[in-house]
Amino acid sequence: MADFGSNEEVAVIGNTDLTSAESENNIINTMVERGTSLLNKMEINVAEAEKRTGKNTVNMQETYTVYLIETRPAENVPEGGTPAIPDSLWRRYSDFELLKTYLMVTYSYIVVPPLPEKRAEFVWHKLSADNLDPDFVERRRVGLENFLLRVASHPVLSNDKIFFHFLTEEKGWREAVLETGFQDKVDPRLKSLSAMLRVKNPDKRFTALKHYSDELNIVISQLLRVRARVADRLYGVYKVHGNYGRVFSEWSAIEKEMGDGLQSAGHHMDTYAASIDDILEEEEHYADQLKEYLFYTDAVRSVCRKHELIQYELEMAAQDLAHKKQQKEELVTGTVRVFSLKGMTSKLFGQESQEQRESRLAALEQSIQEGEEMVKEKNTECQDFVRTAWEDIERFKEQKNRDLREALISYAIMQISMCKKGIQVWSNAKECFNKM
């Protein structure tokens, strides 16, 4: 079971008769690290979702959903007392997106938690792919809450002022975010994740991590696709059994001895057919857990990309410095090893004067000094980045292993529950057949 510290109580896996709401809570609780900054001080909920209509940026009517964020100071409620009324405000999905983008740019060395999907993907046929479908909205609500809890429990992200503002003040938040000027920090090269930067000495750990992240992305996508197809088929199998119920019922009307047995067996077949709805709804939780880590791979890739960029700039700076030093050497010794226009013109039009040479040398020295500063700077930046990023990556890896293991375990629990239901129904049906 996941371990949060020696004294923490953890969710029970022995109890396999959890309701879906309970197991959902368990999943969330085990996924979120407790005992860290913000979450120590306040409880956060995404309590509700509501439909709104309004004019959008191009002055057209649109319908969208807003989510109610409730916060309340975390405190022990005395016996018989009522907890304090929470503060609340409404946010829409695009607000969350802005927050996430801000965090990713501002903390480029952190694996920022992902948002739930914008549009329903990996859908099996019965499930609606419509964004306004209540089931989708509900699952998104849970996903958004999960996002907030993850940020609030992150050792670095939870301290961010903009994040705090997002949770506590409805007005003026967008302006505040834009005021931070985070957009200026966005390097266009970061956007094109596929563009290759020719980095000579990448940190091998980051290369491996990027490779892992790509593989994980592929395998989870595949798993989600297979799951959707399997769910589709299983739905078909269960539902067709409902036909037994109907035919048995009709048949029992023309039989004397067999009638009762058939009729009651038919009812069990109906129960069996109906049971698949709950089963597959629970399985959506599992799919959502997988999806979270699918989207996490994007965050990981971002961090790796940022490292590449910093490393690249460092190498460029070092290269630039080396080049300048080379030039100085040539100037001093008089040899031209490297082609330069100045060199050529001086050859053509005669040697330059001592004065000219000296002023050029001085300029070059200045440039070299600047270059050395730059390299030093970039080096520090790089080292800091690698250190802090790797710290967060280790944290992320542990979290991932814990969470995914929990997900697999709860999947097993779901399967067990499904099997038990199946045993029950068919044992009952057999009893009825015996009475035929």
Partner 1 sequence: MSGHTVPADFSGHMLDLDEDEDLEVFSKNISLGDGNPMPNSPGSMVNQYRLEDDEEHQDANTKDLFITVDKPESHVTAIETFIMYRVTTKTTRGEFDSSEYEVRRRYQDFLWLRSRLEEIHPTLIVHPLPEKFVMKGMMDRFNNDFIETRRRALHRFLNKIAEHPILSFSEHFKVFLTAEDLTAHRKQGAGFLSRMGETMKAVANSVRGLKNRSEEFTEMQEYVEDFGYKISSLDRVAQRITKEQREYLDELKQYGPTYTQWAGFEEELGDPLKGMASCVELCSKETEEQVHHLSEVLIPTLHEYVLCTETLKAVMRRRDNIQAEFEAKNEALVSRKVDQETLQEEVDGLADRMEQANNALKGDWSYWKNGMRTDLKSAFISTAEKNVDYYEKCLAVWESFLMSQRVESSDQRDAEDVS
Point out which residues bind partner 1 (CB under 8 A). Answer: 1-3, 6, 13-14, 212, 215-216, 219-220, 222-223, 226-227, 229-230, 232-234, 236-237, 240-241, 243-244, 247, 250-251, 254, 257-258, 261, 265, 401, 404-405, 408-409, 411-413, 415-416, 419-420, 422-423, 426-427, 429-430, 433-434, 436
Nearer of residues 5 and 81 to partner 1, judged by Cβ: 5
Nearer of residues 23 and 158 to partner 1, judged by Cβ: 23
Phi/psi at 269 (nearest 5 deg)?
Answer: -65, -40
**Distance, CA of 147 to CA of 153 (rounded, Å):** 10
**Distance, CA of 88 to CA of 68 (rounded, Å):** 6
**Distance, CA of 146 to CA of 113 (rounded, Å):** 9
Nearer of residues 129 and 240 to partner 1, judged by Cβ: 240
Taking the complex as a whole, how short is the minimal distance between the CB of residue 245 and partner 1, in angstroms? Answer: 10
Strand order in the sheet with 87-92: 42-55, 61-73, 87-92
What is the Cα gyration radius of the chain?
A: 31
Taking the complex as a whole, how short is the minimal distance between the CB of residue 206 and partner 1, in angstroms? Answer: 16
Residue with tokens 């970061």: 190
Nearer of residues 51 and 420 to partner 1, judged by Cβ: 420
Nearer of residues 51 and 233 to partner 1, judged by Cβ: 233
Nearer of residues 164 and 426 to partner 1, judged by Cβ: 426
Helix axes 354-434, 259-333, angle to 10 degrees: 170
Taking the complex as a whole, how short is the minimal distance between the CB of residue 37 and partner 1, in angstroms? Answer: 23
Nearer of residues 30 and 153 to partner 1, judged by Cβ: 30
**Distance, CA of 384 to CA of 219 (rounded, Å):** 32
Residue closest to 47 by CA, chosen among 80, 105, 89: 89
Residue closest to 144 by CA, chosen among 70, 228, 86, 38: 70
300: exposed, middle or buried (C-beta count within 10 Å: 0-12, 13-18, 19+)?
buried
Taking the complex as a whole, how short is the minimal distance between the CB of residue 153 and partner 1, in angstroms? Answer: 20
**Distance, CA of 23 to CA of 418 (rounded, Å):** 15
Nearer of residues 222 and 326 to partner 1, judged by Cβ: 222
Which residues lie below 8 Å from residue 145, measured CB to CB, with a gap of 6+?
A: 28, 44, 45, 46
Outline where DSSP puts E strands in 59-196. Answer: 61-73, 87-92
Taking the complex as a whole, how short is the minimal distance between the CB of residue 16 and partner 1, in angstroms? Answer: 8
Taking the complex as a whole, how short is the minimal distance between the CB of residue 250 and partner 1, in angstroms? Answer: 6
Taking the complex as a whole, how short is the minimal distance between the CB of residue 191 and partner 1, in angstroms? Answer: 27
Nearer of residues 222 and 356 to partner 1, judged by Cβ: 222
Nearer of residues 232 and 330 to partner 1, judged by Cβ: 232
At 95, list the tokens.
Answer: 């607000």
Q: Please, are residues 142 and 288 in contact by the beta-carbon 8 Å criterion?
A: yes
Taking the complex as a whole, how short is the minimal distance between the CB of residue 106 and partner 1, in angstroms? Answer: 31
Residues 290, 294, 295, 300: what is their CA dihedral angle, to the nearest 10 degrees?
Answer: 130
The helix (run of H) or strand (run of E) holding residue 394 is: helix 354-434
**Distance, CA of 287 to CA of 162 (rounded, Å):** 31
Taking the complex as a whole, how short is the minimal distance between the CB of residue 321 and partner 1, in angstroms? Answer: 39
- Report the Cα 310 to chain-centroid distance in Å: 23
Nearer of residues 11 and 115 to partner 1, judged by Cβ: 11
Q: Please, are residues 245 and 315 in contact by the beta-carbon 8 Å criterion?
A: no
Taking the complex as a whole, how short is the minimal distance between the CB of residue 295 and partner 1, in angstroms? Answer: 17
Taking the complex as a whole, how short is the minimal distance between the CB of residue 300 and partner 1, in angstroms? Answer: 14
